[in-house]
Chains A and B, each alone.
Chain A
Amino acid sequence: MAKMTLDELRALRESKRKDLEKRDVEGKDIQIVVGMGTCGIAAGAKQTFDALVDQVQKNGLEGSVLIRQTGCMGLCYVEPTVEVLVPGMPTVIYGKMTADTAEELVKKHLVGHQLLDNHILDRPAADIMKK
């Protein structure tokens, strides 16, 4: 990307904001967001990330699932943390999502539209950026 002007920055912000709101990035409407701060990585978030990529492929969902990384969600006592966004379902944050839970996550939540027992956590705070 080349250097921007003020107008270009504003245009970029608008289009990206819409992307974020749509939550439909690159035509994929399901998102899995893995917390990858130092705390998450120390607890195995990288392995979880890889296992999720694997399971999504195994279940033939590459076309509709986007797996992303983010920083620390603040829930350090239950790392690794993973947020899952599926259209028509409430968005939830799961804790203690080690690599061996990836299969259950994909099969039960993404395919079966059921939430996982014993992993859901409360979102720590409301989002001030959503007015």
Chain B
Amino acid sequence: MACKNYILVCGGTGCESSRSDEIYRDLIKEAELQGVKEEVQIVKTGCFGFCERGPIVKVLPSESFYVGVKPEDAKEIIAEQVIKGREVKRLLYKKDQNTADTVKVKDIDFYQKQFRVVLRNCGVINPESIEEYIARDGYKALEKALFEMTPEQIIAEVKASGLRGRGGAGFPTGVKWETASKAPGDVKYVVCNADEGDPGAYMDRSTIEGDPHSILEAMIIAGKAIDAHQGFIYIRAEYPLAIDRLNVAISQAKEMGLMGENILGSGFNFDVELRLGAGAFVCGEETALLRSIEGNRGMPVPKPPFPAIKGLWGKPTVINNVETLANVPVVLTRGAAWFSSIGTDKSKGTKVFALTGKINNSGLIEVPMGTTLREIIFDIGGGIRNGKKFKGVQTGGPSGGIIVEKDLDTPISYESLISLGSMMGSGGMIVMDEDDCMVDVSKFYMAFCVDESCGKCAPCRIGTNQMHAILDKISKGKGEESDLDDLERIGKAMTKASLCMLGGSAANPTMATIRHFRDEYLEHINEHKCRAGKCKDLIVYEINPEKCIGCGLCARRCPVPCITGEKKQPHVIDKSRCLKCGECFKACKFGAVTKR
């Protein structure tokens, strides 16, 4: 027999430390004492996020969500909820009013910070079943677009919704469609940008893997809006599952008459084909992407003319990001007014982020625009791993910057992130803690840009190399203070003179870290010190002879090996041969190996 109630006690590390274990035991004890042992099951769960307000207890099926619960509350929870069927009001979570004005949609009334528009079907439907997509209002927006709306009306609706591009730049989608629709040309194209090259980003992959039809539906709608009949999805070959699911979706849609000729008898034709990219970051840049589809080498060309006027094979082309497109069917089915009620003044709707790095609950999240970074990192993400201290969060990938503690309460929007010296980017969000070195982080992103620069324009080709060389020098303790000025000077030139935004934004991570962590750069330069212990050339491993008992574990773990010593006598590291792998440091049980 199923129980009448299930009481879930959060067992995440945050709540464990605030006595959730005791609460768990007391609830079981109380259930027994009050004679309802058979009617309720007390269950320990994984982390619910929200650790700041833990310990958290949730009662099902009523979905009562209690925060800040104490062991003493166990008696009342059992007596009230299990026996009398009433919630314990004083423990219920109350949404704080500060955020209420940024998130207006009434549906998000409960404690949930997430709101899924783009990911509406991800993790819900079988992505290989067109029927399940259809059952959840799938292809309903297409019906509307084909039978009830003129192209002008579709464009007007998308414009009114305030939807802006999720691929990075945030250009208003409706305006882009309007430009392409008005551009003269007999043949036009719709392209979906699924290149997703930012390190740490996987939102677009997950969206396609979880809900491929939403992209197809949106592309057909865009086709109707601009009078195009052919679409291409440019997706990187290293996303095999996403490619598979798209192929399945395309063949299902064709078979059922939702794609191809005379869709649903409307007389409108539209086809979609895949184009696989080889995984070059620059091919995510729209003009390079279009060259790549044409079969040429993926290199950017100057804009204007913009693709909406002269795109694929010189024809007017709408190119949109995966996430942008995934919003489109909802904009049409729910209407522009509904959509624009979510978010902030200028940034409407939601944003999907891939939350990774030193965070407890890494994952794919979707929040209304206007949510703060603090809510994302500490409420949804459950805070920093291993109780370490938050240092910064990287958004916008190699084109973005780092946002620090003092700015965490800024509501997220395209504008606010730029004003903080970062950008929305496509949605990678990498959380860093005190063990991350900012010089090392900048060097990583600059190395990425050196590798990914296509080499066509000199500012980017030479600038990224020069900046990387300087960062490398600093990380080795060989920098000078004037290097910081040089970095800024080269960065400025690159930002101004590069052909595309790869070079145009490659200096951003370095500039942002210099701005926020200048002292850390100076430490590397003047004191030859890396406080995070990341820059290998600056760290030294030593054995403290007073603490070493001569167990020899470090010597056995050392891969070189360069640790010697008699049994039961203090050991020594030969620093000239040490690789600084840190194995001895990790192995020592006596704290005798030191790192500085």
Contact = CB atoms under 8 A, between A and B. Distances in A.
A86 interface: yes
Contacts of A129: 120-121, 124, 136-137
B60 A90 contact: yes
B150 interface: no
B140 interface: yes
A61 B14 CA distance: 38
Contact of B365 (A3, A4, A74): A74
Nearest to A89: B2
Given A9-B143, A70-B123, A74-B123, A41 B134 contact: no
Interface in B89-137: 107-108, 110, 112, 114-117, 119-128, 131-132, 134-137
A85 to B, nearest CB: 12
A6 B3 contact: no
A107 interface: no
Given A3-B256, A38-B205, A72-B209, A117 B123 contact: no
A78 B46 CA distance: 9
Interface residues of A, number: 55
B46 A126 contact: no
B134 A121 contact: no
B358 to A, nearest CB: 12
Interface string A106-122: 00000001111111111
B195 interface: no
A108 to B, nearest CB: 10
A70 B127 contact: yes
B313 interface: no
A75 B361 contact: yes
Contact of B107 (A73, A113, A128): A128
Contacts of A95: 46
Given A4-B256, A74-B123, A96 B2 contact: no
Contacts of B43: 115-117, 120
A118 B140 contact: no
Contacts of A120: 8, 43, 45-46
Interface stretch (B257-265, B302-310, B515-523): B257-265
Interface string A70-104: 11111111100101001011101001100000000
Nearest to B50: A122
A115 B114 CA distance: 25
B230 interface: no
Contacts of A127: 116, 120, 124
Contacts of B137: 13, 129
A12 B131 contact: yes
Contacts, number: 181
B241 interface: yes
B210 interface: yes
Contacts of B47: 121
Interface residues of B, number: 69
B115 A126 contact: yes
Contact of A71 (B123, B136, B258): B123
B139 interface: yes
A19 B209 CA distance: 23
Interface string B193-207: 000000000100110
B147 interface: yes
A125 B6 CA distance: 20
Nearest to A96: B46
A117 B117 CA distance: 31
A55 to B, nearest CB: 20
A16 B125 CA distance: 12
A6 B134 contact: no
Contact of A76 (B8, B126, B127, B362): B362
A73 B122 contact: yes
B323 interface: no
Contact of A35 (B44, B123, B132, B255): B123
A39 interface: yes
Interface string A38-68: 1101000000000000000000000000001
Interface in B1-54: 1-3, 6, 8, 11, 41, 43-49
A122 B8 CA distance: 10
Nearest to B65: A122
A120 B12 CA distance: 11
B61 interface: yes
10 contacts: A9-B256, A16-B135, A74-B206, A74-B366, A77-B361, A86-B2, A117-B44, A118-B45, A126-B115, A127-B116
Interface of B: 1-3, 6, 8, 11, 41, 43-49, 58, 60-61, 107-108, 110, 112, 114-117, 119-128, 131-132, 134-140, 143, 147, 202, 205-206, 209-211, 239, 241-242, 255-258, 264-266, 360-366
